[in-house]
Structure 1
Amino acid sequence: MPDTYSQTQTQKQTETGTGLPLRQNTEIQGDILAGFKKDHMQLLFLRFEDEMLARTWLKRLRPRIATTRQVAVFNSEFSRARRYSGGDDPDELNALWRSVSFTYRGMKLLNGNKDPFPVIPPGSTQEAFAQGPAHLDRAKMLGDTGENSPESWLFGNSKDQPVHAVLTVAADQVKDLRSALGQERVEAARHKIVIVFEQDGATLEGSRRGKEHFGFKDGISEPGVKGFDEPNPDNPDQVKGHPGTRIVPAGEFVVGEPRVGGNPTDLPDWAKNGSFQVIRRLAQDVPGWWSQIHERLQELKAEKAVPPDTTREWLAARVVGRWRSGTPVHKCPQFDPPSDAEASKDNDISFRNDPQGEITPLWSHLRKTNPRDGLFVGGQFVPEKEVLDGIRIMRRGIPYGQPFDPAGGESNGPDAQRGLLFICYQSDLVKQFEFIQKDWINEEDFPPRQNPGKDPLVGADADVGRDTTVRFNGCELDFKQFVRTEGAVYAFMPSMSTLDRLAAGSLIEEEKPGGTRDLKAPFTLNAAGSGGNNTVDAGKAKLVMRADGNLVVLDEKNQQRWESGTAGTGADRMTFQEDGDLVLFDNRNQPIWKSGTKGNPGSRLSVQEDGNVAIYAANGMLIWQTSTAH
């Protein structure tokens, strides 16, 4: 009886969202964690011509923006209806969702032409966001050179036509999408907003459904999210019903939520509950892809590196890491199993027994973008939970264009526009998307000291060196590029509250001299001289993070009344964390000093006008103070 009761309670909590609090969130926009998951989508890339009218437009748009709670509830109902119908989409359940994101220039304009960041540290995600992917150094780093260079892009590169915002409209039905787009175009024109570019996307039909244009199942490897996805009772690190799908801390995708290792964020308060969005239009040369697969296969056969009856499907599956159905090569090395209903969600893959890539090549797209438990560095395997989970991204891509069909019309021909609209969310552009693209996909020597070559699927032109294995026997294959970048944008998808701030024209509340300052977590003070704010001033009390690593409280005469005693320890920032703890960290993210108030979520740090600095629990109880009131 107790077990049955517990299971029933857990199920009720899951359905109502009480056991998964992020499902009830009304601050986070709906596409980030829940995912719109619609068959039809259109992105409008917008330029503001009038600052005041743009704010009015945003104020009118805001009620139409979908929240996580709205999308999660619908998706749950849709999934339940599909199960009852034997896997068919329920015709009676339809929805239309909108989301909006802003580039650095767009946020600055709406913020009264004031920089949204107090400081932009070199090498930070703030710098990446401010520069954008078309910046010369960033484009080079990402491999966007030659045919991929920004000067050839359809959007995201022009100084004369800057992108200030991206409005996404997604729907189950084409007619609903068209109706909503008509409304949004009228709204844009009314508020002097120019539609710089429109990018459509649609799920491929028939047997191609759920696949990208090369013909392979897409979107299988997305992570689960702690507090949003239900964990497997037998393995809490994985999503229930999706073996192998790891549950990653929500802070890797949403700013302000807990991150891997508890690493703090140095982003301002307005970024909380938001996410950085990467948009890339990736054109796919489908005939070129299969032609190269055929040519490389002939080379392997000529070298007797593969049996004479080896097929193109066999080699193509190794480039991707999965067969067309989604079945991992690692599980079925020789063929794609027919009628495998579970293949489309098979994430239960371990590369631990294949560190040299003899079964699934190290250069395969699957391993280059997510090495899982098979990354062997310095004589040991790199742990997923402590390290690799912090490099995950949340992908929300969708194909565009008509499938390649030699017997079809011009829109199905080899020169027609088709490809993948790549969209992903993360809390750190540099440590997540850019790291994957630069240090994994485009790095020939990743995994380190094995030099397998670049990812031939989405990387730039590369010579891919084969390990000496039974199948390839030391052969080297040269893949030319068949995926090109035709546009890219970095944007930020704010919380609903921050949308209100942008519509009001100010991201940051004006600080008043004197008066108690109540600070909500996460809040960070950087050491003086290292960039960013280093002082909170309440008149009689000033909380200051000094350059020498000491956190101090000064009075109105700048006389020191309290100190953390951490001068000379290397502490370079103070962070008030979500769990209620006040912590000083060094530049290696190691804690140097703590207030010892961990375990009090919802607390507030108060720099008070009477001279005291204190931490109050969510119920108002005093749990820490400097005792400097005077």
Structure 2
Amino acid sequence: MPAVDFADIQGLARFGHGRLRAAEFLLLEVAAPDAARAWLRSAPLTTAQLRETPPQTALQVALTADGLRALGITEATVSRFPQPFLAGMAGEASRSRRLGDVGDNDPLNWQWGRPAPHVLLMLYAAEGGLDALMAELRDTNFDTGFRVMRRLPTGIARGIEPFGFVDGVSEPVIDWDQTFTTDLHRRLGYANMLAPGELLLGYPNEYQETAPAVLAEAAPGQRATDLARNGSFLVLRQLHQDVRGFWQYLDRVAGADPAQRDRLASLMVGRHRDGRGLIPDHENIPGGRSGNNFTYSGDVDGNVCPVGAHIRRANPRTGDHPAGVSGRWSWLMSTLGFRRRRDGLAGRHDLVASSRFHRLVRRGREYGSRLSVDEALLPGPDEERGILFVCLCADIVRQFEFVQEAWLYSARFDGLGGERDPLTGARTPLPDGTMTDHYSAPRLTGLPERLEGLPQFVTVRGGAYFFMPGIRALQFIAGA
């Protein structure tokens, strides 16, 4: 297997830059291609190489398909990128329906993303250092080459999302040394480790396959440049969170009982606010960490962590086969769909695809002012606050779009009926008129606990698909 070339990879893929607590994202339009290319050639991009002294700033660049065209890449070359990237997040009505970008989330209501920007500039700095970094980067070429379409400031990174829950606990570990098996017949259980090819193009993925090259047109006698190698697709979505609406709804349902309110919130999220899972650590998960060493194999019906809880939808923690599969006969029976639970029913495992083929590497930041639970319970304006959701992946459809459509937005996830994600889901009815504004949590005895009249708590404000190229590929794009 090829060794990972960290010197040619933008640092966001490896580090996330969480140590640099201040960040701002700029959405740019290419106004003058020559000046824009000149600026990109000299831009001090942060690589994925380890440094003896961690940097105090970081700069990353990603481009849309229209951005590649605006910078002079030929249509023959651009067309070799995958179709979802070329179409864009808001480019097709069918894609919007699949992603749940309907109703209040419809791209027609977005603040940005129609049309998609050309360039995403991501700036990171130690607290208080962003203005100095921006002043250092802006020069004649920048001001001539780009027009700033929108600035997306973020809050100071604290690892807590706006609803008040510790975030990022279940981030996958990238197997940079490529020592953990991806063999389809040997790796049956759930692990929190991913092959580099799930994140970066040019390396084997969990299917032991490598994404095809994107070869740029070359002059006769010259070697073609692979624009894909060491790059990642980057998904950016601005998700507004109605923090007041979330806690005030739960307070009404809980009868103003703080303990009951927190319990219901944890059932919807799948974790306690401090990051502890509803299912305590009880397994030795490869690549796991404290608070994250569990699966749902002992809670298939969701009696502890509801099947529809947000974190269970985002990562169902399923292996290639249910727990307990060992030996060739057991493996064959499970593969053919003949394995049954002790009660004689088909296991829920058959309803959810193996997690490792659909994992995402998240690099998002919260934005807007912070609001405590006590503050959220008081009347006040619905200010702009939420998550600038960023994820990196090698396959937009198999990873981001699958998770969004089949797990988060689906009203029939894992056998449920008429329920979407309780946090992020749209509440639009199904085509047959079935309402989706409810949420159920099973009980060991009696009827499930059911929340009715669930408002929509998260609204999409904008989004786009970008490609974050490797350093050499970006230099080629910039005309070096």
TM-score (norm 2): 0.79
**Structure 1 portions without partners, runs of 5+:** 1-19, 78-92, 121-125, 232-236, 239-243, 302-307, 333-342, 506-630
1:471-530: CA deviation from partner (whole Å, max 9, x where unpaired): 77234323211111111011000001101110118xxxxxxxxxxxxxxxxxxxxxxxxx
Give SS of 1:368's match.
Answer: helix
Equivalent residue for 1:291, pick from 228, 244, 248: 248
- The structure with the greater share of residues assigned to strand is 1
Equivalent residue number for residue 25 of structure 1 = 6
Number of positions where the alignment pairs a residue of Structure 1 with one of Structure 2 = 421
Equivalent residue for 1:498, pick from 467, 473, 479: 473
Q: How far off is 1:182 after superposition?
A: 2.1
User: Given the alignment of the two structures, is residue 168 of structure 1 paired with residue 122 of structure 2, yes or no?
Assistant: yes
Q: How far off is 1:406 after superposition?
A: 9.3
In structure 2, the CA distance between the partners of 1:274 and 1:476, relative to structure 1 (3 Å rule), is same
8 A Cα contact 2:318 2:349, kept in partner: yes
User: Given the alignment of the two structures, is residue 42 of structure 1 paired with residue 24 of structure 2, yes or no?
Assistant: yes
RMSD between aligned alpha carbons?
3.3
Equivalent residue for 2:424, pick from 458, 462, 468: 458
Equivalent residue number for residue 276 of structure 1 = 233
Equivalent residue number for residue 146 of structure 1 = 103
Q: How far off is 1:330 after superposition?
A: 1.1
Equivalent residue number for residue 572 of structure 1 = none
Higher relative contact order (CA 8 A, sep 6+): 2
Superposed, which structure 2 residues align to 1:158-237 within 5 Å? 158=115, 162-174=116-128, 176-187=129-140, 189-203=142-156, 209-227=158-176
Which AA in structure 2 matches 1:363?
Answer: G
Superposed, which structure 2 residues align to 1:347-358 within 5 Å? 347-358=292-303
Q: How far off is 1:444 after superposition?
A: 1.3
In structure 2, the CA distance between the partners of 1:465 and 1:35, relative to structure 1 (3 Å rule), is closer
Q: How far off is 1:109 after superposition?
A: 2.3
Q: How far off is 1:152 after superposition?
A: 2.2
Equivalent residue for 1:400, pick from 360, 364, 367: 367
Give SS of 1:491's match.
Answer: strand
Equivalent residue number for residue 53 of structure 1 = 35
Equivalent residue number for residue 56 of structure 2 = 95
User: Given the alignment of the two structures, is residue 261 of structure 1 paired with residue 201 of structure 2, yes or no?
Assistant: no
In structure 2, the CA distance between the partners of 1:348 and 1:112, relative to structure 1 (3 Å rule), is closer
CA distance in 2 between counterparts of 1:416 and 1:101 reads: 29
CA distance in 2 between counterparts of 1:290 and 1:327 reads: 20
Which AA in structure 1 matches 2:101?
Answer: D
Q: How far off is 1:189 after superposition?
A: 4.5
CA distance in 1 between counterparts of 2:465 and 2:476 reads: 20
CA distance in 2 between counterparts of 1:188 and 1:407 reads: 48
Q: How far off is 1:108 after superposition?
A: 2.0
1:60-105: CA deviation from partner (whole Å, max 9, x where unpaired): 21xx000100xx446xx7xxxxxxxxxxxxxxx6610000000010
Equivalent residue for 2:450, pick from 457, 476, 494: 476
CA distance in 2 between counterparts of 1:290 and 1:309 reads: 10
Superposed, which structure 2 residues align to 1:316-355 within 5 Å? 316-331=265-280, 345-355=290-300
CA distance in 1 between counterparts of 2:230 and 2:28 reads: 23
Q: How far off is 1:452 after superposition?
A: 7.0
8 A Cα contact 2:367 2:387, kept in partner: yes
In structure 2, the CA distance between the partners of 1:468 and 1:45, relative to structure 1 (3 Å rule), is closer
Which AA in structure 2 matches 1:165?
Answer: V
Q: How far off is 1:277 after superposition?
A: 0.1
CA distance in 1 between counterparts of 2:51 and 2:297 reads: 37
Q: How far off is 1:434 after superposition?
A: 0.5
CA distance in 2 between counterparts of 1:435 and 1:40 reads: 31
CA distance in 1 between counterparts of 2:55 and 2:289 reads: 23
Equivalent residue number for residue 618 of structure 1 = none
CA distance in 2 between counterparts of 1:438 and 1:273 reads: 27
1:107-141: CA deviation from partner (whole Å, max 9, x where unpaired): 12223442434557xxxxx1111111112222222
CA distance in 2 between counterparts of 1:221 and 1:408 reads: 28
Equivalent residue number for residue 83 of structure 1 = none
8 A Cα contact 2:232 2:467, kept in partner: yes
1:339-376: CA deviation from partner (whole Å, max 9, x where unpaired): xxxx9952101210111111100110110000003897
In structure 2, the CA distance between the partners of 1:48 and 1:471, relative to structure 1 (3 Å rule), is farther
**Structure 2 portions without partners, runs of 5+:** 181-185, 215-225, 282-287, 323-333, 338-345, 428-435
Equivalent residue number for residue 446 of structure 1 = 413
TM-score (norm 1): 0.61
User: Given the alignment of the two structures, is residue 68 of structure 1 paired with residue 48 of structure 2, yes or no?
Assistant: yes
8 A Cα contact 1:203 1:210, kept in partner: no
